[in-house]
Structure formats: C-alpha cells, structure tokens
Amino acid sequence: MASALRYLAWSKLESTPVAKTNPQDAPLARTISFIVPAYNEETELPGTLQNVHSAAGGVGCDYEIVLVDDGSTDATASIGEKLEARVISINCRQIAAARNAGARAATGDVFIFIDADTRITADHVSNVIGALDSGYVGGGSRLRVDDKIPRSPPCISRFNLEPGRFCSPLGQTSSR
C-alpha cells in the first residue's frame, strides 16, 4: 500500500492587492477549507480526517472540512459525518467535478484540496499559509511511498520528478 502526501492550495483572490509578508511573521487568523473528494474511501478516510483535525488544530486556525462523496457505495459519507466533516454528495465519478463541488460549498478564505488517503501536518498547513501570504496562488505535492514501487512504473516514469522542474500541459519542462 502506498501512502501519498498530496495537496493543492488555493486562496480566494481579492480585488485589492495583498502585501507580501515574511511567512514566519504571517498571521494565521483566517478560515481554511480542507476539501476532500472521496469515492469508497471508508478504509483510509478516518485516518485522513483525524489527521486534518490534528494539523489544523496544531496551527490554531479556524477551519472546516468539506468531504465530497462522489457516489460511494460504502460508509464514506457516514464516516465523514461522524468525524465532523460537512458532507456534500454528488454522483459524477470525476475527481475534478468533486473538487469543484467542494470549492463551491466551501466557506473559507483558503482552500486546501487533499485526497482521501492524504496525511498532512501542522507544518504543511503553516507552510501553505506562508506561501500564500508571500504571493503564491498555486499549490503542489510531495509523494512519499510506504512500500517499494516497481523500477519503472508507467504512471511515474513519464514524468521528471526532480524538485524545481515543472511540466506544462504540452509536455515542455522548465526550471524554477
């Protein structure tokens, strides 16, 4: 089983310019919406939601968890309700549609999109806020695999995973 640390962050853009600050000095007084798209995730979801509560609590920010149940046939929705997530139900079976539904329902100033098998820490949340306060408007991910993966799995070997390298939709790479 592989566990991945994947997240995307997005901040609502305001019409007035935002002053850039030092991330270490940035106030964390804002509401964060953690948006979790899910389909049949009853096994991984409890750990993820408990982890989000712990990470957000470690930062001391106001937050909500929006769980988007995309047509699950297991206990995903009831687990979300039990673990204090606001559950939104859709039936599209498309992760982009689930993320969009979560964003529409979210009430926070900052959106952090995480997968239902993701584990984050208070440092991740604090770093996201610091990056957004420094003028960044996008997000990223880091992959950590618990078990061995094949030498050249087709799903990974196509991509250059070096830090600081990005791939455009046309397959062109650039360095940061």
pLDDT digits (tens, 9 = 90+) for 22-32: 444 445 468 99
CA dihedral 76, 82, 84, 86 (to 10 degrees): 40
Asked if residue 74 belongs to a domain, the reply is yes
CA distance linking residue 173 with residue 165, whole number of Å:
7
Asked if residue 162 belongs to a domain, the reply is no
CA distance linking residue 167 with residue 172, whole number of Å:
6
CATH number for the domain harbouring residue 14: 3.90.550.10
State residue 158's pLDDT score. 41
Asked if residue 72 belongs to a domain, the reply is yes
State residue 150's pLDDT score. 59
Q: Which domain holds residue 9?
A: 5-145
Per the document, the length of the chain is 176
Asked if residue 55 belongs to a domain, the reply is yes
38-90 pLDDT, tens digit per residue, is: 999 999 999 999 999 999 999 988 999 999 999 999 999 999 999 999 999 99
CA dihedral 99, 103, 107, 109 (to 10 degrees): 100
- What is the C-alpha radius of gyration for the chain, rounded to an integer number of angstroms? 17
Record the pTM.
Answer: 0.68
124-158 pLDDT, tens digit per residue, is: 999 888 888 888 877 666 666 666 655 554 444 34
State residue 21's pLDDT score. 43
Asked if residue 161 belongs to a domain, the reply is no
Asked if residue 108 belongs to a domain, the reply is yes
Asked if residue 152 belongs to a domain, the reply is no
Token pair in block for residue 52: 């989000």
DSSP line for 25-73: G----SEEEEEEEESS-TTTHHHHHHHHHHHHHHHT-EEEEEEEEES-S
Helices and strands in the chain, H and E counts: 5, 8
* Number of structural domains in the chain: 1
State residue 77's pLDDT score. 98
91-109 pLDDT, tens digit per residue, is: 999 999 999 999 999 999 8
In the chain, % of residues over pLDDT 70: 61
Asked if residue 31 belongs to a domain, the reply is yes
State residue 86's pLDDT score. 98
Contact 125, 56 (CB under 8 A): yes
